[in-house]
Amino acid sequence: MGKIAFVFAGQGSQTVGMGLDLYNYSDKVKSLFDMAETKRSGIKDLCFNSEKEQLDITVNTQPAVFLADLACSEVLSEQGVEADGVAGFSLGEIPAACYTGLMDRSQAFDFVCYRAQAMQDCSEKYRGNMFAVLKLNESDVESICSGLELTYPVNYNCPGQTVVACAEESAGALQQRVAEAGGKAVRLSVGGAFHSPLMDAASESISQYLEKESLNAMRVPLYSNATSQLYDNSKQLLAKQVNRPVLWQKEIKHMIDDGYDSFVEVGPGKTLSGFISKIDSNVRVYNVSGLETLENTVRELKHA
């Protein structure tokens, strides 16, 4: 086997009850959620018991998914499975950074709560939507966006899927142009036009927050959404990814070129697993979202 990568799920993957089985299974996960509860009262109830409508609110989604992601990586470590390198999709880059040691648990949770509030504040000021555009290539999507006001390609997920962020008033025209080009635009259940210039104010606020933070050396490599390349210990990459495209397809290709041939998606859902399989069908893809998938993945990795 070559190198193992953990890829951390992002906003949009949230599910009701996420993290509860791992909380009851692992003392290390219990201490993670208990730490978060001291900082944000009610976060455990939000993760374990809330309805989806509550989980879909940005200030709730991001800290909740952060905890679920990190919990999944923690139980893998307890089973003797460690990553040789990591990446995270959008929000997932924060628990990925925490896994590397760039931030400790407490610092990373504080940061993700600040990030979530900054992005929600920005999305309330500049109303926007996000659409997954299917059946069109990147250049077609870029061409459509260039002809519309405040419309941007923002997530380059995999062949045949590019996410577009736009101002609320441009959503109808975007859907029409995509349909005319033979594609399909699927509205995403997120709270704003993330990873676009409509998030410039949030990115600036986050940049100022990070200036005051001291970060640590990383124990394993971390790949960046904003550049698709390895992190260079620049804390500002965590601010830049908020208002710049997620170059996921390039990021995964760079990891494969660097010798990663096994990818474990950690966190709720299997969205990233699907993207990676479409990017390169030759790599092995696993996921850990709870106790059952943990046992299956550990068993398969140990026999790979």
Domains in the chain with CATH codes: 3-124+197-302 (3.40.366.10), 128-187 (3.30.70.250)
The CA distance from 298 to 304, in Å, is 10
Contacts of 291 (CB under 8 A, 6+ apart): 21, 22, 25, 75
The count of other CB atoms within 10 Å of the CB of residue 127 is: 14
d(CA 82, CA 104): 17
For residue 127, give the amino acid letter. Answer: R
What tens-digit pLDDT sequence spans the chain (304 residues)? 689 999 999 988 899 999 999 999 999 999 999 999 999 999 999 999 998 899 999 999 999 999 999 999 999 999 999 999 999 999 999 999 999 999 999 999 999 999 999 999 999 999 999 999 999 999 999 999 999 999 999 999 999 999 999 999 999 999 999 999 999 999 998 889 999 999 999 999 999 999 999 999 999 999 999 999 999 867 899 999 999 999 999 999 999 999 999 999 999 999 999 999 999 999 999 999 999 999 999 999 988 7
Question: pTM of the prediction?
Answer: 0.96
Q: How far apart are CA 180 and CA 195, in angstroms?
A: 25
pLDDT at residue 1, as a whole number: 64
Phi then psi for residue 210, to 5 deg, are: -70, -30
Rounded to 5 degrees, what angle do the CA atoms 50, 54, 59 make? 120
